[in-house]
Amino acid sequence: MSKTTEKYDQGGLSEKSENVKIAYLGLGLMGEAMAVNLARAGLNVVGWNRTPGKPGEVALLTAGGKVARSLEDAVSGAGVIFTCLGDIEDVEQVLLKAGGVIECAAPGTVIADFSTIGPEAARRIFASLNSKGMHFLDAPVTGGDVGARNATLTIMVGGDEEPFQKALAYLEKVGKTIKRCGPSGSGQALKLCNQILCAVNMISVCEAFHLAKQLGVDENLVVDVLSAGAGGSWALTNLGPRIIKSDFAPGFALKHMLKDLRLVFENLDGKSDELPGTKLARELFKQVGENGDKAGGGANGARGTQAMSLAYD
């Protein structure tokens, strides 16, 4: 049986998967690419973005999806709802507040959130939606804008097994490595571990470039030769060339990295001394992010994390 014709015996997904309405809320950098891949796979995708007229809407329409005027129109009748938003309060706003998913979606709906919000918030949202008979999966992703466009994301899922199995055929259209890590919050917990790896690694990439400049080594050699060695990493391969070209457009916005490092320590009860390397990385990202405005949303906060290299100019 092909993945798109699997049948489920209960919940909102007892139809062929291409007939199931999929609502995708949040057509930002990641959401756009993921919604487009779902639509290109022939699925019935209806997107919604808080601010109308963003490029994600055009991209989804071009890929064969639809765009709803309101959140309610998007989620009404949906069997699966995906969200890719910002911070905790954004996800709570869309899922739990008046006029949100909790009021507009039907019991039995599977809701998977791709945002990075940490395990504690994920468990809270799980409990609220569960009380209305809805199934919530935390499903944060890694692989960046490149992985989102190529449908090669790694997806770390927390939540119950049955809704995970229901969502799997759809997750396979946007990701390559998909793992249920355990109960609610466990996907977010693993994602925060990933963010430590990303943050500290980004700084090491910038410092390797800085040393190369000081020693008169061609920066291209740092990427071309070292990517294949023990010091190679996703950041070096994918963001190294952007640093060389002074291309600081996001990919993964620095303000989101600051959010994620804040979440690391919030979920560790503020015990920042237990992670001295991450604490230092957070300070360095703060300094660079705050070179715009204090909210971390200024000039550098809106840039990609490779803007960390500006600290070494």
Rg (CA), the chain: 20
Answer for which of 6, 8, 50, 207 binds ligand NAP (CB under 6 A) is 50
Task: Answer yes or no whether residue 115 interacts with ligand NAP by CB under 6 A.
Answer: yes
User: Shortest distance, CB of residue 128 to ligand NAP, whole angstroms?
Assistant: 16
- Nearest residue to ligand NAP by CB is 28
Task: Answer yes or no whether residue 292 interacts with ligand NAP by CB under 6 A.
Answer: no
Which span sits near ligand NAP by CB under 6 A: 4-12, 86-94, 161-169, 182-190? 86-94
User: Shortest distance, CB of residue 90 to ligand NAP, whole angstroms?
Assistant: 3
Beta pairing class for 135-138 and 175-182:
unpaired
Task: Kindly name the residue from 21, 173, 191, 259 that is annotated as catalytic.
Answer: 191
User: Shortest distance, CB of residue 83 to ligand NAP, whole angstroms?
Assistant: 8
User: Shortest distance, CB of residue 308 to ligand NAP, whole angstroms?
Assistant: 15
Looking up tokens 């946007």 gives 174
User: Shortest distance, CB of residue 293 to ligand NAP, whole angstroms?
Assistant: 16
Which span sits near ligand NAP by CB under 6 A: 4-12, 49-57, 128-136, 200-208? 49-57
Residue closer to ligand NAP by CB (options 13, 308) is: 308
Phi, psi of 21 (to 5 degrees): -75, 130
Task: Answer yes or no whether residue 51 interacts with ligand NAP by CB under 6 A.
Answer: yes
Task: Answer yes or no whether residue 188 interacts with ligand NAP by CB under 6 A.
Answer: no
Residue closer to ligand NAP by CB (options 13, 199) is: 199
Alpha-carbon span 215 to 209, nearest angstrom? 10
Answer for which of 86, 185, 187, 292 binds ligand NAP (CB under 6 A) is 86
Tell me the sheet residues that pair with 47. 24, 67
User: Shortest distance, CB of residue 129 to ligand NAP, whole angstroms?
Assistant: 17
Residue closer to ligand NAP by CB (options 203, 257) is: 257
Alpha-carbon span 213 to 292, nearest angstrom? 26
Task: Answer yes or no whether residue 296 interacts with ligand NAP by CB under 6 A.
Answer: no
Phi, psi of 264 (to 5 degrees): -55, -50
Site for ligand NAP in 199-258 (CB under 6 A): 251-253, 256
Find the length of the chain: 313
Residue closer to ligand NAP by CB (options 27, 192) is: 27
Q: Which residues are catalytic?
A: 191
Residues contributing to the site for ligand NAP (CB under 6 A): 26-31, 49-51, 54, 84-86, 90, 93-94, 114-116, 141-142, 144-145, 251-253, 256
